[in-house]
Structure 1
């Protein structure tokens, strides 16, 4: 047979495959299609919701501030503060970066396409660093308002 397009070839393969799968197997007493339906179909699992992503690996030492520098993105990913100065391994895909210490995952972050930023999970910070993350203009305005009230009270009682 001669085929002039891929579609023609695929149509012929489909015809022959239907016949092949419906042909009775002498030792089994059933066709391939019947065996699939009765035995194998129940073992199938649903396909994953997301596509497969290749993983790559990098080594990184956790810096004194509690961040592992990830050189491909030039980003810093924080890890629990108890791993400061430890050598870790970063497993990364297109969408995630996981930090492992002794083959145990200690942090997982979404990768950010921006370069040179700090990606923070507040649960990983020590209590002293958590206090700094609460600093904002509103925080200092509230502190200043409390201070002004105290000054007004001391002037009133003098």
Structure 2
């Protein structure tokens, strides 16, 4: 560690990670550049697009506006942490089943924003889903399939249906 760096520890997707960062390093860059969790994307770097959304201690956070040192000691979940081994998380399954993505750039942020919504409200209306996604921008779709995917994910999460028990 140097005079210009700080050692921080994050638990990312269940794995404790210790790294040295400059105090000005954004969480998205610590995750992507230092730890190789590249699911979170750098889109606008001003919190407008939501492509960088991760969970920090269970809350959806735009990691392009959070300093990594502020996350020291936190539990961070990225899109890579949603799946359980080879079994996709219900959100990932639903996005695949409902064609809720095109290029995939915004998808990780959409999923983590949706996860926060579904944890609070497992059966949201289409309007509630659209309101929850106001901070996430998708340039490829008209959001219709994304909303369908989030509604389907809520169903899957409520019923506990797994890939093995459901028909694909």
Which TM bucket (shorter chain)? under 0.3
Larger RCO (CA within 8 A; separation ≥ 6):
2
Q: TM-score scaled by structure 1?
A: 0.23
Report the structure, 1 or 2, having the larger strand content: 1
**Based on CA coordinates, which of the two structures has the bigger radius of gyration?**
1
